Amino acid sequence: MADLARRFWLRQRQALQAPRLPWMIGDTAFTDQCTRCQDCLKACESHIIVIGDGGFPQVDFQHGECTFCYQCADVCPEPLFRPRAEAPWSAIASITESCLASQGVECRSCGDACEPMAIQFSLQPGRVAQPEVHASDCTGCGACVSVCPSQAIHIQSETQRNHTS
Ligand code: SF4
Ligand code: SF4
Ligand code: SF4
């Protein structure tokens, strides 16, 4: 029964939150085997890994972006990460309605922060330019998250996008 409850909780977490760490194996297998040693927190060059729910590591893009350095995976003593040659995650940026541009205020902070230029602004009659995320160019690095003055950007995993679409 406890196991069922835990799996339900994990499914809820997957639906509501951004991916936990780049290249990580599935969430259930991860929390089964992660010892919460915090070695990945110390190794992260961007200092974006924090202690999340249940004491497990979790990226927090309010602290910066993932550079995909693979240090978290390299330092981990457990078999919790996939090979670096694979995609780190399927997560991409999603812009919500609290975006200043959607409220008529000129803002291009996210576009300026996006190195792969995955955020493009389209001009529309009678409105300020509106940002749009080009999924095929977005790496889910999170560089656009902390620079947004209205906290309008979230990095969503594929699971979360499926739940909200
Ligand atoms: S280094 Fe590995 S085992 Fe330790 S907290 Fe990070 S993911 Fe878990
Ligand atoms: S890949 Fe590098 S920057 Fe990204 S979470 Fe892991 S250690 Fe941090
Ligand atoms: S997550 Fe990274 S690549 Fe994607 S839109 Fe934001 S800054 Fe650009």
Query: Ligand 3 pocket, 140 CB below 6 A?
Result: yes
For residue 103, which phi and psi values (nearest 5 degrees)?
Answer: -100, 10
In a domain, 107, yes or no: yes
The answer to whether residues 67 and 109 belong to one domain is no
144 alpha carbon – ligand 3 mean position (Å): 6
Counting ligand 1 atoms within 8 A of each CB, the residue from 27, 32, 39, 59 with the most, and so the one to mutate, is 39
Give dist(CA 135, CA 153) in Å, integer: 14
Query: Ligand 2 pocket, 70 CB below 6 A?
Result: yes
Q: How confident is the model at residue 153 (pLDDT cuts 50, 70, 90)?
A: very high
Indicate the pTM of the whole model: 0.87
32 alpha carbon – ligand 1 mean position (Å): 11
The answer to whether residues 69 and 127 belong to one domain is no
The answer to whether residues 10 and 59 belong to one domain is yes
Which strand (E) or helix (H) includes residue 10?
helix 2-16
Domain boundaries, position 32: 2-75
- Sign of the C-alpha dihedral computed for residues 70, 66, 93 and 137 taken in this order: negative
Q: How confident is the model at residue 1 (pLDDT cuts 50, 70, 90)?
A: very low
Lowest mean pLDDT among 1-15, 32-46, 61-75: 1-15
pLDDT tens readout for residues 108-152? 999 999 999 999 999 888 889 999 999 999 999 999 999 999 999
In sequence order, what DSSP letters do the residues of 68-84 get, joined into one string? ---HHHHH-SSS-B--T
Count structural domains, the chain.
Answer: 2
Cβ count near 113 (within 10 Å): 18
